[in-house]
Every structure is written in C-alpha cells, then in structure tokens.
Amino acid sequence: MHGFVNDLFPPKLLEDGMIPEGDFYRLDNISPGGTHSHGLTANTLVIFADGTYLELAHFVAPPHTNSTHGWAQKQPGWIDYAFSGNGGAPSIAEAINARAEKEGTAVRYEPEIRGERKRDEDGALLQWTITGRVGGEERFRFPFYCGDLTPRELRVPLEPSNVTHPNTAQGIAYFKILVPQGELDGTVHQLTSVLGSAPRTSTSSEIAWDLDPQPSRVTLVSAPTQLILRAAQDEEELAYVRARGASVYEVGFFVLESKDELVGGTPYGRVAWVRGVGDGGGA
C-alpha cells in the first residue's frame, strides 16, 4: 500500500547534487528523475531496497503567487505522502468515496487523472494515474494514490547501485502526520474511510495503521511500515502545525546499523532511524 513521501527542496540544493549533510540525514544516494509533463516541477529520487522512495521535488521556476499548484505556497520540507495505486481500474477514488458515503465521513477523492514525465538519463516516457483528496490545505494530511501505467521498475529502479545508502537505510519505517488537537477524532474517521481498515493501535493522542509492503526484490525488515496520526502536543509540534498546517511531520527509516542519535531535526524536516531486522529472504 505505501509508496513514497514528497520532500520539497530548493532547486539550487538539488542542482548541486546535495541534500542536508551529516550522519543524521545521509540519504545521499540520489537517483535521476526528470521533469513532469506540465513543465512546472522536476524531481530526483532516493530509492530504498524495500521498494519505497522519497521524491525530492522542486519547481523548475519560482511559482507565481497565484499558482494553483498544491505545493506552490509550501515551505521546503516534508510535503505529501502517497500510496501505490492500480493504474485507474477499478477506480480507487470511487471506492474511497463510496466507503466514505456509507460511513458518513466527509472525505472525498478526485477522479483519477494521468501524469507523466521523461527520465533525464534516457528520455523514457513514464506514465501513471493519480488521485488525491478534494480540498485545499486539508488534503496534506491524507495520502494521494499513484498507480503506474508503464512498468514501475522504470520509474523506481531497484538495482543495488540505486538502493545502497551510507547510513544503511533500507526503507520507510513510518511517517507521522501532525494535526491540531481538536481535529484528531475527525481525521481518524476520515483516514479510516480512505484506508478501508481500522487502526492497529490507538491512544488519546496517537493512532497508527499498519501498511502493506511494497513489492520489492528482498524482504528486509520484520515490522510493517506504519502511518501514524498524532495530535500536536508540545510547543515544537504546535508551532509546526501553525506554520505548515496538518501534514507530514516526521519520517522514520529502517536502518541495519544503530545510531547514537535516533530522532532529530534537519532544516527540512524531522527524521528518525529505526533498527530493522533483515532476514535475507527473497520476495
């Protein structure tokens, strides 16, 4: 079910081939991406052996102040998160909307639309369908769905040279969504309609769902990736929600080697390292 997390970076940072440095954020094996067909944004990828990836996106030119692009007014950092779609048939949006209507939740998804980009290294055309939640800022607390029309391995190549990272990162352990305290219950009900499954764990301030694995070449970790929804608690979290709205706050990565510092911030978002257990098996 899980697929990738969007991280919006200043274009100069990507042109220089860099992301924030230091042991804490050493995900510096960056795979080439390309420019999207609308010409507004381009990307590179950080791909993991479990089949997930980060999309490091930037605007080709500064967006106009009146731009309707969903990322146009966002600050650099964690922006969006996505689950794997199915190429458009049957419609994921229709399934979510029917479930939400039956369950009496207000969440609705847009009809699937097609997207595409050309790979920088060889010009191969990559195509997909995409659907996201109807609405403005609220949409960033919900996943969008991206389903490949061309072979996924062309867009997310899992060769060892693409998925080997200096800090031994193997995949995404969790992504944590922050919401205002008074909006936790409503968001839980809506996310349950979107996901079609009840949370795995639940407390008064934090709810978690287990996610299905992404198809990959190896089975690396024993624990499933989790989607964590949390009501902002301390001043740091409250300030984040005030500045950015309800959205991705922290991403955890499975690593094979332990770290002295397990959780911390960068100029572009919070990250955490989670000890993963490899079994060496194929998938």
The pLDDT tens digits of the residues spanning 244-260 come to 899 999 999 888 876 55
Coil, strand or helix at 187: helix
The pLDDT tens digits of the residues spanning 85-103 come to 988 789 999 999 999 999 9
| pLDDT at residue 198 is higher than 90 | yes
**Count of CB atoms within 10 A of residue 171's CB?**
25
Q: Domains along the chain?
A: 2-155 (3.10.180.10), 168-282 (3.10.180.10)
Kindly give the interhelix angle for 184-195 and 92-103, rounded to the nearest 10 degrees: 130
Confirm if 187 and 272 have CB atoms less than 8 A apart. Answer: no
Q: How far is CA 35 from the centre of its chain?
A: 19
Q: What is the mean pLDDT of residues 20-46?
A: 72
| pLDDT at residue 216 is higher than 80 | no
The pLDDT tens digits of the residues spanning 147-170 come to 999 999 999 999 999 999 888 888
**Full-model pTM:** 0.86
pLDDT given for residue 222 in this prediction: 66
Please give the share of the chain, as a percent, with pLDDT higher than 70: 82
